């Protein structure tokens, strides 16, 4: 079965609104990462966050290991935030599982 579940599958926001993206894991994990994929582009790593809370600008990632979940909060969204957000977990050595992603569209 799917190791990584992401929700929502897609999200449309008005510019300035906040977004909360969720990632749930079916097994215990060594590490997890959040990535951003531009439309038609490559992936950019946003956070490595196996536990706790990390913040970078308008982005905040919170991982709760014992509950096997991680969230990505985007505050004051901008049109340039549009794209796909992917989470990935590493349950063991050099073995990664990605979620299907959340497609975010921010309209002006």
Partner 1 sequence: ETAVFQTPNYHVTQVGNEVSFNCKQTLGHDTMYWYKQDSKKLLKIMFSYNNKQLIVNETVPRRFSPQSSDKAHLNLRIKSVEPEDSAVYLCASSWGTGGYTQYFGPGTRLLVL
Segment interacting with partner 1 (CB under 8 A) among 10-18, 59-67, 75-83, 91-99: 91-99
Q: Which is nearer to partner 1, 16 or 41 (CB)?
A: 41
Q: What is the smallest separation between the CB atom of 13 and partner 1, expressed in angstroms?
A: 20
Using omega within 30 degrees of 0 as the cis cutoff, is the peptide bond preceding 8 cis?
yes
Q: Are 32 and 25 within 8 A, CB to CB?
A: yes
Q: How far apart are CA 44 and CA 28, in angstroms?
A: 24
Residues of this chain, 44-83, that bind partner 1 according to CB under 8 A: 44-45, 48, 50
Q: Residue 55 is inside which H or E element, if any? A: strand 52-56
Residues that bind partner 1 (CB under 8 A): 30-31, 33, 35, 37, 41-45, 48, 50, 84, 86, 88, 90, 93-98, 100-101
């Amino acid at each position: 079965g799917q190791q990584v579940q992401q929700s929502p599958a897609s999200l449309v926001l008005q510019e300035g609104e906040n977004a909360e993206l969720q990632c749930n894991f079916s097994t215990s994990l060594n590490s997890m990462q959040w990535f951003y994929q531009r439309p038609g582009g490559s992936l950019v790593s946003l956070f490595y966050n196996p536990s706790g809370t990390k913040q970078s600008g308008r982005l905040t990632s919170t991982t709760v290991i014992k509950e096997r979940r991680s969230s990505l909060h985007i505050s004051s969204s901008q049109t340039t935030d549009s794209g796909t957000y992917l989470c990935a977990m590493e349950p063991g050595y050099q073995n990664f599982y990605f979620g299907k992603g959340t497609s975010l569209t921010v309209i002006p």
